[in-house]
Chains A and B, each alone.
Chain A
Amino acid sequence: MSRAPRASGYFRTSYAQDLALVGTRLERTSLGVFILALLAFPFAASAFQLDLACQVFLACVGALSLMLLTGYAGQISLGHAGLMAAGAFTVGILFRETNAPFWITLPCAALVGALLGIIFGLPSLRLRGLYLAVSTLALHFVVIYLGGEYESRRGFSTGIVIDPPTLGGFAITDGRIWYFILLAAAATTLLLCVNLLRARSGRAWRAIRAHETVAEALGISIAGYKLLAFVISSAITAVAGALFAYYRGFVSVEAFSLFLTIQYLAMVIIGGMGSLLGALLGATFVTLFPYIIETGLLALPGAQRYASLLFAVNYAGFGFVMILFLIFEPLGLVGIWHRIQSYFLLWPFKHRSASGSR
């Protein structure tokens, strides 16, 4: 795991400083500017750009939860799409059967996610690495089957339509309001993850990831913390799925194919393992990637001929980029970012001195 490089001369001299999330003045100002830009964005953006931003925020929530589980606790999960589907279907079923409002369905989705997290996590107590990955993959198919079964039994063969959530008799349909809701969701998830990771739980997860036996010898309850990682991550994922359902106004098993899992894994890998910033960067990159390809392809001469190939080009390009990252930049986007930072911090030198540095 790579840490953010820092210029020398910054030392923490009090506990308050050690606990602070943003340390230096530069960090504080840049964060402030970034937040202002995020808040101002919806008033300058087109409807399409707003939709993209909303998708990015949704992806951020999902990617952060997967990063918690895979990047920090080291538990490989191929069932991410299944968990999202579980959240989305909880909303869909509750809405269809009982007409429940969103402040009931969202907590229910989280609860269902947590329960599924225990089920998904139970194999992790016995299995490791590859076998765990396969068992979560199997559970993914089970969840998807149950969702499909509900759809066909109740006669929603194409999918379940969900009305937009209402707040005080006022339906939330405006893109800008959605933008702020999803931004808040992403920010809350980020804060939750940051704080979980610098507390006892985060240290336990990192120890488990580094070496299970040693972690157990240090007195960490392996079973407890593995299940905790699964439960928290799955609950967040299910909420992400529920938000997705409300945002799209439509739930269908087709949206939660294995490809979605792969996309989320790609976010974690492309962003950079073991870094929350990486999850955010990866989520942004993977979500925007198809649109970048699309604009690039349509800019070529004779664009109309390629339009039918778009889907396939997307697929192939996505696989290609993933391979490139896995082979040439295993640290991901965050690794590149840190390298750029170090370059400027160390300038005019090229390498850190061998001793006395981190």
Chain B
Amino acid sequence: MQLIVNIIVLSAIYALLACGYVLIYRVSRVLNMAHGEIAMLGAYMLFTSASLFVGNPLTAIAVAVVMSLTIGVLVYVLLMRKMTGEMVLAAILTTIAIGILLRGLIVLIWSAAQQRPLEALGFSNPSIELIGGARISACAALMVIMTAVVYGGLFAFLRFGRWGVRMRAAGQNPLLAAQRGVNLNAIYALAWALSSLSGSIAGMLIALDSGLDQTMVVIGLKAFAPALVGGLDSLIGALLGSLIVAAAEVLAIHYIDPLLSDVVPFLVLIAMLIVRPWGLFGTREELDRV
């Protein structure tokens, strides 16, 4: 029973992070290797705003959310916009460089020591007992709920929202979309903002649950295994991929060896790339023509 709870919580973490990869890849065909760092930055934003607005947790959370949206827009407007039309490698490397820059800045500003935003916000994190004797911490439960909310919101937005439809159009065929009057720059900026927001929510909740330090980057990297397993341009895929990867990881830790936890997501990823490179629900890349 506890195993199932663990799997669900871990897959919620992965799913929240993976949808950031999916959003950006789907719209602009860029894999954002700085996602872990952006999530971490969002968590530090929460920590800072919590220390600024003591005794006023709702304001603090609102400020942190706005900040994380801004970060996404800034990253796109200042940096990634210039990389449009460059080689794949150049775009990936830019995101890697952004990640390194952010990691350095974070240590410079907040130091490498572990922070506890939970205490700064003045919340507590009680353990809840579920049916069957399994236990789940309140933050982890919140994580599962937030994952459902974020995914529900994204599905509704992409399906019914005016901007969501534009976003899908831009992802399918940027040239045609631009000709029909879709402002591509705004769409890309929006995608980066949403991705940064969902990543930051994940980062904040992880930080609330288990403290905040540099290890979050590793979680961010591991989360693109689920994104790829599910198919890089499919949200449902990301959800299912997270479940598969999380299940594999939790079971491997429990039955084989705890050291495996950093490798299992990548092993699943390799297996998927061999069998079905475009993922469970992803679209196959087109053949290139001469």
The judgment on whether A and B are partners is yes
A313 to B105, CA, bound (A): 8
Beta-carbon contact of B228 and A134 below 8 Å:
yes
Residue A292 interfacial (CB < 8 Å):
no
Choose from B263, B267, B290 the contact partner of A213 (Cβ within 8 Å): B290
Choose from B83, B224, B260, B270 the contact partner of A326 (Cβ within 8 Å): B83
| A265 neighbours in B (Cβ, 8 Å) | 93, 96
Beta-carbon contact of B263 and A134 below 8 Å:
no
A57 to B86, CA, bound (A): 31
A270 to B101, CA, bound (A): 16
Beta-carbon contact of A319 and B102 below 8 Å:
yes
Partner-contacting stretch, out of A16-24, A140-148, A226-234: A140-148
Beta-carbon contact of A319 and B97 below 8 Å:
yes
In chain B, residues 95-110, which have Cβ atoms closer than 8 Å to a Cβ of chain A? Answer: 96-105, 107-108
Beta-carbon contact of B290 and A217 below 8 Å:
yes
Residue B53 interfacial (CB < 8 Å):
no
Beta-carbon contact of A318 and B100 below 8 Å:
yes
**Interface class of chain B by DSSP:** helix
Beta-carbon contact of A138 and B31 below 8 Å:
no
Beta-carbon contact of B108 and A313 below 8 Å:
yes
Choose from B31, B98, B102 the contact partner of A130 (Cβ within 8 Å): B31
> What does the 1/0 interface line of A116-141 toward B look like (CB < 8 Å)?
00000001001111110111011101
Residue A317 interfacial (CB < 8 Å):
yes
B188 CB to nearest A CB, Å? 16
A54 CB to nearest B CB, Å? 25
Beta-carbon contact of A145 and B31 below 8 Å:
no
Interface size class of chain B, counting residues whose CB lies under 8 Å from the partner chain: 35 or more
Q: Which residue of B lies closest to A311 (CB)?
A: B107
> What does the 1/0 interface line of A64-108 toward B look like (CB < 8 Å)?
000000100000100000000000000000000000000000000
| B289 neighbours in A (Cβ, 8 Å) | 213
Residue B156 interfacial (CB < 8 Å):
no
A262 CB to nearest B CB, Å? 6
A79 to B79, CA, bound (A): 25
Choose from B103, B259, B288 the contact partner of A152 (Cβ within 8 Å): B259
> What does the 1/0 interface line of B259-290 toward A look like (CB < 8 Å)?
11011001101100110010000000100111
Q: How many residues of A contact B (CB 8 A)?
A: 48
Residue A291 interfacial (CB < 8 Å):
no
A327 to B85, CA, bound (A): 12
| Given known A141-B266, A323-B79, contact A134–B108 (CB-CB < 8 A) | no
| Given known A138-B270, A323-B94, A326-B90, contact A315–B107 (CB-CB < 8 A) | yes
| Given known A131-B277, A319-B100, A322-B97, contact A76–B105 (CB-CB < 8 A) | no
Residue A211 interfacial (CB < 8 Å):
yes
**Interface class of chain A by DSSP:** helix
| B103 neighbours in A (Cβ, 8 Å) | 315-316, 319
A18 CB to nearest B CB, Å? 31
Choose from B82, B262, B290 the contact partner of A327 (Cβ within 8 Å): B82
| A76 neighbours in B (Cβ, 8 Å) | 88-89, 92
| Given known A138-B266, A319-B104, contact A326–B97 (CB-CB < 8 A) | yes
| Given known A133-B92, A317-B104, A330-B90, contact A323–B273 (CB-CB < 8 A) | no
A70 to B94, CA, bound (A): 16
How many residue pairs bridge A and B at CB < 8 Å?
128
Q: Which residue of A lies closest to B273 (CB)?
A: A135
In chain B, residues 190-219, which have Cβ atoms closer than 8 Å to a Cβ of chain A? Answer: none
24 contacts between A and B (CB under 8 A): A70-B89, A127-B273, A128-B285, A129-B89, A134-B228, A141-B263, A142-B266, A142-B267, A145-B262, A212-B288, A213-B290, A312-B107, A312-B108, A315-B100, A315-B103, A316-B100, A319-B99, A319-B101, A319-B103, A322-B96, A322-B97, A323-B98, A326-B94, A330-B90
A135 to B277, CA, bound (A): 10
Residue A269 interfacial (CB < 8 Å):
yes
Apart from the given pairs A141-B266, A313-B108, A316-B105, 12 other A-B contacts in the complex at a CB distance below 8 Å:
A123-B273, A126-B273, A129-B89, A134-B31, A141-B263, A142-B263, A149-B259, A213-B289, A269-B90, A316-B101, A316-B103, A323-B97
Beta-carbon contact of B259 and A127 below 8 Å:
no
A170 CB to nearest B CB, Å? 40
A269 to B91, CA, bound (A): 12
A129 to B99, CA, bound (A): 20
| A315 neighbours in B (Cβ, 8 Å) | 100-101, 103-104, 107
Residue A354 interfacial (CB < 8 Å):
no
Residue A189 interfacial (CB < 8 Å):
no
In chain A, residues 269-290, which have Cβ atoms closer than 8 Å to a Cβ of chain B? Answer: 269
A271 CB to nearest B CB, Å? 13
A129 to B86, CA, bound (A): 13
A128 to B88, CA, bound (A): 10
9 nearest CB pairs, A to B: A316-B104, A319-B101, A315-B104, A319-B100, A312-B107, A322-B97, A138-B266, A129-B88, A145-B263
